[in-house]
Structure 1
Amino acid sequence: MSGKVFLAGAAGAVGAALTPLLVESGYEVYGTTRRLERMDAIRAAGARPVLVDIFDRERLANAIDCIAPMIVVHQLTDLPPGLDPTRMSDAVSRNARIRGEGTANLVSAALAAGCECVVAQSIAWAYAAGAKPYTESQPLDLGSEGARAVTVVGVAALERWVLGVNETGGVGTVLRYGNLYGPGTGRDTPQGASPLHVEAAAWAALLAVQHMKGGAFNVAEDEAEVTSEKAKREFGWLPDMRLPAQAAQ
């Protein structure tokens, strides 16, 4: 396959793994970062770096309009190095802003530029308590309180924007990732109720781009708190997928 992909968050943990997969699959990748020092790494991975902040709505819209991508992929987060627990409380609010305001800016710009498909990173641990394993049809925990409420409200906003693309004649896909581990995540081994290797997460995003099927999809390892059978069935995704050796270097 081929076509232009606008990858928001190309320098992040999932973005860094996803870029070479997209390039190897024949896509022309434009990868964003807000940090000048990360542009060389994006370029080295085979993408064209785009220096832009998701909250700079006008500059973001201009960039997407000029590039005119077929697909926009949202892999933006704002987490401290090594998931430093002393800094995670601030990260919760920053991530919620990215998921709400940032996603609104990104999706609005994508639709204005005629983008056909938006694929975005969500999370698999925002479900309301209920029967397990959780499926994509179960509701989010919008009745939660405290820091969890901040997270879930941000997730709900992101998913409304992305899934709303399906109502415009396009394709909006939400990938509800499990608890990431592996290179760039700050975790070397599986953790949490629904672990997911970062390279398997990248593969899920590539497959979502290739298959262009709208909706929400859980993406986590087997025996997790959620079931990923829908992603396996619709995308052919498997939790043991990893980068080819040359891409992982």
Structure 2
Amino acid sequence: MRIFIAGGTGAVGIRMVPLLVAAGHEVYGSTRHEAGCETLAGMGATGIVMDPLNARSVADAVAKASPEVVVHQLTALGGISGNLKKFDHDFAMTNRLRTEGTDHLLAAARAAGVRRFVAQSFGGGWPLERTGDWVKDETAPLIADPGKEARETLAAIRHLESVVVSTGSASDGSDLEGVVLRYGNFYGPGNAASRDGAIGELLRKGRMPVVGGGTGVWSFVHIDDVASATVAAIDRGAPGIYNIVDDEPAPVNQWMPYLAEQVGGRNPMRLPAWLARPLIGEFGVALMTSVRGSSNAKAKRELGWTPSYPTWREGFRTGIG
């Protein structure tokens, strides 16, 4: 099968390529620089330089690959400040990739006669409605207002999910199958939740407190399990949305002290919500106290996928890097 990965040298793409090549697929990956083509070639794939925000560049890249499947892994997460009051600012380029970039890729995929379109979204907790069950499946609604710090990011997620899931409908006029993968919070080598990552460093230095009761529920997933789930979604499962998370959504008051221990930090201090609010904003307080986790039952059932790190407990101990 011919597969085009938009973002072939990104955190997920770079891990998908060896899996797909080993399975005998013909893999193409987009990159923004010629050096990325060399990296992809070293793994047995073909690199194509592409500007994801330029419609002509995207159309030419997809046409050159002539794939059966397009996998959308375009993000711009380098240099995130970690300041939750500037969340939308930090995600501004990723939001453009989720809106403009998605639209360009879908148009190019339709023009090239692509059969299936698999796109990255986020399901680690905060976009979901913060009432009712603490762990939710794919039928749960997204929250109406996540807080002023994350409104633009949620709007971009809504756009991506809407246009991808609705593709292939009668009004769309194509046979393109749209699949959205809501990834949990990444951990593992090269990610924030690792010994050398931003969260790991903050916990090691005692600079990341548990706010309020720490009752906000997060869903995690190891970066290697993200790659294996995405490979599974290339040719399995009906069109629609799938949560790609581990088996154990967990409240902040459980996972944060455990991760701190694994990275060599002290037990995090406790900070009342009223005291933390001026520092991290309403969105930051919600992350600590009221966000909901996600269930992976549908992905396990319909994609035939099982995470190699079933829980963050095992993963933080042996797989954070």
- Alignment check: 8 A CA contact 1:181 1:196 kept: yes
Deviation at 1:236, TM superposition (A): 1.3
- Alignment check: 8 A CA contact 1:20 1:46 kept: yes
Give the match for residue 13 of structure 2: 15
Counterpart amino acid of residue 71 in structure 1: V
Deviation at 1:162, TM superposition (A): 1.1
- Alignment check: 8 A CA contact 1:203 1:241 kept: no
CA gap 1:90/1:43 in 2 versus in 1, 3 angstroms: farther
Give the match for residue 157 of structure 1: 159
Distance 2:54 2:16 in 1: 24
Counterpart amino acid of residue 15 in structure 2: A
Distance 1:140 1:31 in 2: 31
Superposed CA offset, 1:66-101 (max 9, x none): 3211000001110125x4426865331111111011
Q: Is 1:181 matched up with 2:183? A: no
Q: Which is worse superposed, 180-189 or 118-127?
A: 180-189
Counterpart amino acid of residue 184 in structure 1: G
Distance 1:54 1:6 in 2: 13
Equivalent runs, 1:203-222 vs 2, <5 Å: 203-222=228-247
Q: Is 1:172 matched up with 2:178? A: yes
- Alignment check: 8 A CA contact 1:117 1:212 kept: no
Equivalent runs, 1:81-230 vs 2, <5 Å: 81=79, 83-85=80-82, 90-124=89-123, 125=125, 126-130=127-131, 131-167=133-169, 168-188=174-194, 193-224=218-249, 225-230=293-298
CA gap 1:25/1:142 in 2 versus in 1, 3 angstroms: farther
Distance 2:87 2:34 in 1: 24
Distance 1:108 1:229 in 2: 32
Deviation at 1:155, TM superposition (A): 0.4
Poorly superposed stretches of 4+, deviation over 3 Å: 86-90, 189-192
- Alignment check: 8 A CA contact 2:28 2:46 kept: yes
Deviation at 1:63, TM superposition (A): 1.9
CA gap 1:111/1:241 in 2 versus in 1, 3 angstroms: farther
- Alignment check: 8 A CA contact 2:6 2:74 kept: yes
Give the match for residue 43 of structure 1: 41
Superposed CA offset, 1:20-45 (max 9, x none): 11111111111011122222111112
Distance 1:57 1:111 in 2: 13
Q: Indicate the SS of the match to 1:13.
A: coil
Q: Which is worse superposed, 187-196 or 232-241?
A: 187-196
Deviation at 1:212, TM superposition (A): 4.9
For structure 2, the residue ranges without an aligned partner over 5 or more in a row are 200-216, 250-292, 311-321
Q: TM-score, normalised by structure 1?
A: 0.89
Q: Which is worse superposed, 166-175 or 7-16?
A: 166-175
- Alignment check: 8 A CA contact 1:78 1:91 kept: no
- Alignment check: 8 A CA contact 2:18 2:43 kept: yes
Counterpart amino acid of residue 109 in structure 1: A
- Alignment check: 8 A CA contact 1:176 1:219 kept: yes
- Alignment check: 8 A CA contact 1:165 1:172 kept: yes
Deviation at 1:47, TM superposition (A): 0.9
Counterpart amino acid of residue 204 in structure 1: A
Give the match for residue 246 of structure 1: none
Deviation at 1:159, TM superposition (A): 0.8
Superposed CA offset, 1:98-124 (max 9, x none): 101110111111011100000011000
Distance 1:184 1:166 in 2: 36
Deviation at 1:205, TM superposition (A): 0.5
Q: Indicate the SS of the match to 1:122.
A: strand
Q: Which is worse superposed, 189-198 or 50-59?
A: 189-198
Equivalent runs, 1:66-81 vs 2, <5 Å: 66-81=64-79
